[in-house]
Amino acid sequence: MLIRKIGLEEEPPNSSEITYVQTRKITDMPESYEIAELTWQELDAAIEETSTLLLPIGSTEQHGHHLPLGVDTYMPEAICRRVAKRSSCLLAPSIPYGVSPHHTFKPGTVTVESETFRRYVRDVCRSAGEWGIENVLLVNGHYLVQDPELEIVVRDLRIEHDMRAFHVPLVTLFEDVAREIRRTELSFHASEFETSMMLALFPDLVSMDRAKATSIDHEPLPLTDYDALGDNQVGWALSAEEMAELTSTGNLGDPTAATAETGEKLVETVVSKMCSLVDALEDPER
Ligand SMILES: [Zn+2]
């Protein structure tokens, strides 16, 4: 039985340290906000109340010795679930495969051609537009790498399909807070940030006893950086061969510095910012 009332406020942990947005309560919605759990009639009724859809988009790729292959999908999915509990929106089933050519040096990685990925994501959103969804948030857990594709999808949806679409990369939303609380200088892949968020969201899926620090022994080229929050002023990319040379474990950075507390702060920062966008999109006064 699916009984999860939309709008029920959940008290998040560590609330003293984080500023939360005030979200409004919805009383006359169907019992679930997850569209895969609704009948078409329930979805039809739900779209009378909200025209915003969250679409988590991840990847299936190697994340070192200590994290599972699904990290990039698990993170945005759990974050979207929190947003949908607090703000008026619906949650679509996640897209678990993305653009990951640089991780194919380890098994378990799936990579989808850029054009295939773009068209697939666009078609999913376009279908939602047919039901009456007006706003769609593409919540991207595979940070940095598939940003260009999702930016193009957003542009297509806005210009060709008259939908208000947004690309929401987790890393951009938590960047300010991450800069303040980070303990390591290099967190590029499967390291402090991702491991912390997984410790906060899915601790049973993290094997901290297998986490190993890796470092890079050379300076990055000017205008580029290996860090997720680094000074990347030019577009660039790593190949699988380059990644294999940089890391034998698969992670880049020190995941042993990760804590659930850091993860919770990053997660709540993203949730709070996303709620403020959803609330504004759903505000009839705007
Ligand atoms: Zn990842």
How many whole angstroms from 161 Cα to the centroid of ligand 1? 30
| pLDDT for res 286 | 74
Give the DSSP H/E element, type plus range, for residue 167.
strand 164-169
**Average pLDDT for 51-65:** 98
List Cβ neighbours of 57 (8 Å cut-off, separation of 6 or more): 73, 76, 94, 95, 98, 121, 138, 139, 140, 141, 142, 146, 150
Å from CA of 144 to ligand 1 middle? 10
Q: Summarize the confidence of residues 135-151 as an average pLDDT.
A: 94
Count of other CB atoms within 10 angstroms of residue 223: 11
69 Cα–ligand 1 center, Å: 8
Taking only the tens place, the pLDDT of each residue in 185-215 is 999 999 999 999 999 999 999 999 999 999 8
What's the CA-to-centroid distance between 191 and ligand 1, angstroms? 9
For the segment 103-123, the average pLDDT, to the nearest whole number, is 97
What is the Cα Rg of the chain in Å? 19
Q: Look at residue 30 in the predicted model and tell me its pLDDT.
A: 58
Q: What is the pLDDT of residue 22?
A: 41
How confident is the model over 23-46, as a mean pLDDT? 78
Q: Give me the chain's average pLDDT, please.
A: 90
Q: What is the CATH number of the domain that holds 54?
A: 3.40.50.10310
Residue 13 forms part of a structural domain: no
Q: Is the pLDDT of residue 76 over 70?
A: yes
Domain that holds residue 32: 26-282
Q: Say if 215 falls within a structural domain.
A: yes
Q: Is the pLDDT of residue 163 over 60?
A: yes
Percent of the chain with pLDDT over 70: 89
Compute the average pLDDT of residues 40-54. 96
269 alpha carbon – ligand 1 mean position (Å): 18
Give the integer Cα–Cα distance in Å for 36 and 128: 13
Nearest one of 252, 248, 206 to 227, comparing CA atoms: 252
Residue 21 pLDDT exceeds 50? no
pLDDT exceeds 50 at position 16:
no
Helix, strand, or coil (residue 76): helix
Q: Cα–chain-centroid distance for residue 153?
A: 16
Is 88 part of a structural domain of the chain? yes
* CA–centroid distance, residue 97 to ligand 1 (Å): 12
217 contact partners, CB below 8 Å, separation of at least 6: none
Asked if residue 207 belongs to a domain, the reply is yes
Q: What is the DSSP letter of 78?
A: H
Cα dihedral 245/246/251/253 (nearest 10): 170
Please name which of 194, 245, 246 lies closest in space to residue 66, comparing C-alpha atoms.
194
In the reported structure, the alpha carbon of residue 64 is separated from the centroid of ligand 1 by a whole-number distance in angstroms of: 10
Question: 114 alpha carbon to ligand 1 midpoint, in Å?
Answer: 18
User: How many A from CA of 194 to the centre of ligand 1?
Assistant: 6
Classify residue 7: in a domain, yes or no: no
Q: Residue 229 CB: number of other CB atoms within 10 A?
A: 17
Contact 54, 80 (CB under 8 A): yes
How does pLDDT run across 117-132, given as a tens digit for each residue? 999 999 999 999 999 9
Distance of CA 80 from the midpoint of ligand 1 (Å): 16
Distance between Cα 180 and ligand 1 center (Å)? 21
The rounded Å distance from CA 26 to ligand 1 centre is 33
Say how far apart CA 61 and CA 204 lie, in whole Å.
Answer: 19
Give Cα separations from 271 to 84, 125, 233 (angstroms): 9, 21, 27
pLDDT at 7 over 60: no
Query: Which are the contacts of 168, defined by CB distance < 8 A and separation ≥ 6?
Result: 137, 138, 139, 140, 274, 277
Name the band, by pLDDT with cuts 50, 70 and 90, for residue 231.
confident
Does residue 12 sit within a domain? no
- What separation in Å is there between the alpha carbon of 59 and the centre of ligand 1? 8
Q: Is residue 10 part of a domain?
A: no
pLDDT at 2 over 60: no
Query: Rounded to whole angstroms, how far apart are CA atoms 165 and 134?
Result: 8
pLDDT at 26 over 50: no
Task: Provide φ and ψ at 11, rounded to 5°.
Answer: -85, 110
pLDDT band at 4 (very low <50, low <70, confident <90, very high): very low
Asked if residue 19 belongs to a domain, the reply is no
The domain total for the chain is 1
